[in-house]
Amino acid sequence: MTELTPTASAVPADRLVVRTSAGLVQGGESDGALFWKGLRYAEAPVGLLRWRAPVPVEPWTGVVAATDYGPAAPQISNPAIPLGPDVVKDEDCLSLNIWRSAASTRPLPVMVWIHGGAYTFGSSRQPLFDGTAFVSTGEVVIVTVNYRIGALGFLDLSSVATEEQPFDSNLALRDVLLALEWVQQNIAAFGGDPERVTVFGESAGGGLITTLLTVPSAEGLFHQAIAESSPVSSVYDSVRSAKVAQRMLDQLGVAAGDLARLRDLPAVDIVAAGMAVYAAVPSEEPGTLAFAPVVDGELVPEHPITVLSEGRGLPVPLVIGTNKDEAALFKFMKSPLMPIDEQSITEMLTEIARENSELEMPTRDEILTAYTGLRTHAIGLGVARDVGFRMPTLWSAEGHATVAPVWLYRFDQATPMLRLVGVGATHATELPYVWGNLDTDPKDITFKLGGRKTGRAVSERLQARWRAFATTGSPQGAAGDVEWETFQPAGARSTLVIDRHDALVPDLDGELRAAWGDAVLTFS
């Protein structure tokens, strides 16, 4: 953010100039939307604040320009997640962005977006997440949040902490919590209603949201949630996080008696070491991630999948779902994150069974009954999709529906090009439709063989449902759309299939549930 020269008297009467709890900011206007970008909610997490809980931003004097995005969190470039032109990457990344319609005058419900990226990539500054189209109807205020990622955001060094060198756990989750506190304190000044806050996110962002649903200190910071393709069960215990911490220390060449060096290492070196660990962990232990939220017994008292499946999460309405072909992207990108081949899947299932020895887990053959008739590679994609995304989503929906309304979906829409290259409705393909931004990346192949007309129609319906959920508490969308019934574990288990034409399907996942059984599996 850049400080402007304040007037000699008072700040001009300008709707773009807003007083926050830390000082005055001046935004901009474009295409019928007012926006404020790069708003700091925390001090730079550097030096002694590296690997510590975020600290609220210090007040400033004058008027700070808020017309450009803040830096993205340090990361390597990933062609699958374009950050936009002229991107700056810096540890001083704890900022957020706000959009609302220029025509809106009343307090509006707020939707707070948590971006994805395997807990290691991405930013709120991605062109895909520009909120202009989302706020065009004047129904909601959009907030997008930056948080620490990779080793700087998810490495848990508490196992090696000392009195002289303290470290905190779940740094990224703490960032999001502080951002939500900032929203509660400040969003009214931007035209938002702090009593009607919906958090929504995809992939890692969805995982942070399902974890938030089990964090006691998050109560009251949001009132509804949307979790898209959440890896709900990819949250690990302190034993595994300690192993990752030691692996990182070894990779960085930092001895236990020299922890002070961790505060001074260049961020680029930490990112490089983190990427080596990021690649090694799932290769050696299929189905696991190096960096993810941790059950620390403090901020996250228990495994989220356990809490949610037992109906003990924060009792807020929830929209949750996955994409039909989640795992295809990981195969297409040759990503190590998801086990696709038979050997790695067998290793993963064996390890899950070992970690859940007290449960009556289905056998490998029983699980494979859900994939009868599929080719070998399709079986691998199906198992990876379901163990990583669909089954944890179902377990969460089953439990959370006992304490709050739940709407379950599956996103099936795929363009001709995505079907041709064999990825279909894969991981993250719903995002352009959710945001109404179908053409943000000139290198994107999605619509190269057509499908934009259908895409716009799907996007309009999907956005209408997400906005309706934020404004009314029910994702029914526009008049004439298929009615979306709540998910009832003891009833029809209705699922909305989002495609060229939406359809409500009873017990869409019946065969899958039967094959996987009733055991709710954790990944410690």
Q: What is the pLDDT of residue 8?
A: 31
Please answer whether residues 129 and 435 qualify as being in contact, where contact means their C-beta atoms are separated by less than 8 angstroms.
yes
Please answer whether residues 407 and 319 qualify as being in contact, where contact means their C-beta atoms are separated by less than 8 angstroms.
yes
Spatial separation of the C-alpha atoms in residues 421 and 429, rounded to whole Å: 14
Catalytic site residue from 95, 124, 169, 203: 203
Q: What are phi and psi of 193, to 5 degrees?
A: -100, 110
Per residue in 196-211, pLDDT (tens digit) is 999 999 999 999 999 9
User: Does the pLDDT of residue 340 top 80, yes or no?
Assistant: no
Spatial separation of the C-alpha atoms in residues 264 and 47, rounded to whole Å: 6
The pair of structure tokens assigned to 243 is: 């192993």
Q: What percent of the chain has pLDDT over 70?
A: 93
Residue 1 binned pLDDT confidence (cut-offs 50, 70, 90): low
In the annotation, is 136 catalytic?
no
Spatial separation of the C-alpha atoms in residues 455 and 500, rounded to whole Å: 8
User: Does the pLDDT of residue 13 top 70, yes or no?
Assistant: no
In the annotation, is 427 catalytic?
yes
Spatial separation of the C-alpha atoms in residues 257 and 409, rounded to whole Å: 50
Domain boundaries defined on the chain: 2-516
Please answer whether residues 254 and 261 qualify as being in contact, where contact means their C-beta atoms are separated by less than 8 angstroms.
yes
Per residue in 130-162, pLDDT (tens digit) is 999 999 999 999 999 999 999 999 999 999 999
SS3 call for 322: strand
User: Does the pLDDT of residue 356 top 70, yes or no?
Assistant: no
Q: What is the pLDDT of residue 288?
A: 86
Per residue in 400-442, pLDDT (tens digit) is 999 999 999 999 999 999 999 999 999 999 999 999 999 888 8
SS3 call for 19: strand
Catalytic site residue from 115, 223, 303, 427: 427
Catalytic site residue from 202, 285, 326, 430: 326
**The CATH number of the domain covering residues in 2-516:** 3.40.50.1820
Least confident of 311-325, 347-361, 479-493: 347-361
